[in-house]
Homo-oligomer: A and B are copies of this chain.
Amino acid sequence: MNDEPATTAKSTRHSRADVVDAALGILDEFGLPDLTMRRLAAKLDVQPSALYWHFDNKQALLAAVADRIIAGARVRDVAEAAGDGLGTRASERASWHVTTRAEALALRDALLAYRDSAEVVSSTLALGLGAGEAHCRLAAAIASGGFDVQASEASASALLHYLLGHVWHEQQRLQADSLGVVAPGYAVHPESASDVLATGGGASPVDGTAAFEFGLTLLLGGLSQLTRVRS
């Protein structure tokens, strides 16, 4: 209906950062399918061809977008993310699994801040273009637990794959629900029954965060069984 974008600097010429800003705006307002070069150009009051001065192609643009998304993962006080009911300060030395968990949760939060972010980041990650920082942070957190570099990096990869797979699923479900696209045989299973959050006991993974943490616990549990190189 309204063709006029919310905020646009009309007069000045643009930089790479401006283009990424506009792209992020389209991304979480309309989603990845609507993030086309032509729409992006229109939002910037520019011809589509102008974008190719800033970026070689759409893929390069998306890589820059992905970098900005995961750059938004700042670990808000680890203590806050950790102390959630258990025996407060049980372990003295910084326990690696707490920081790893916090790192993973922060990463997920950063992804959830933008629509279809998991798909954008995944597409980019395999090319080594962006999101390498996320892998590094996870690997460092794990390595602080005394695992050797090889195991730490492999574990970080596994964690990242799980994380992206999970968030992607969440985000796709979100937009599928909003479009009213439900499967015929699937009917209404507990997760899609919107505000009926109290299905069973209460601690079971009915919402996305709890489900994510369940898998996270599985991975960290398996990791803790590995032999350490130093205590």
Contacts and interface: CB of A to CB of B under 8 A. Distances in A.
Nearest to A219: B218
A126 B176 contact: yes
Interface string A160-202: 1111111011001100100001110110000000000000100
Interface string A99-120: 0000000000000000000000
Interface in A121-151: 122-123, 125-129, 132, 150
Contact of A154 (B154, B158, B214, B221): B214
A209 interface: no
A125 B168 CA distance: 11
A169 B161 CA distance: 8
Contacts of A129: 183
A167 to B, nearest CB: 9
B211 A154 contact: yes
Interface of A is mostly: helix
Interface string A26-49: 000000000000000000000000
Given A127-B183, A186-B128, A218 B158 contact: yes
A231 B118 CA distance: 39
A59 to B, nearest CB: 8
A199 to B, nearest CB: 10
A130 to B, nearest CB: 9
Given A128-B186, A182-B128, A218-B222, A123 B162 contact: no
Nearest to A173: B126
A158 B162 contact: yes
Nearest to A204: B150
Contacts of A161: 161-162, 165-166, 169, 215
25 contacts: A122-B168, A122-B172, A125-B169, A126-B169, A126-B176, A127-B176, A127-B181, A127-B183, A128-B182, A128-B185, A132-B186, A150-B200, A150-B204, A154-B211, A158-B166, A158-B218, A160-B165, A161-B162, A162-B165, A215-B219, A217-B222, A218-B218, A219-B222, A221-B221, A222-B223
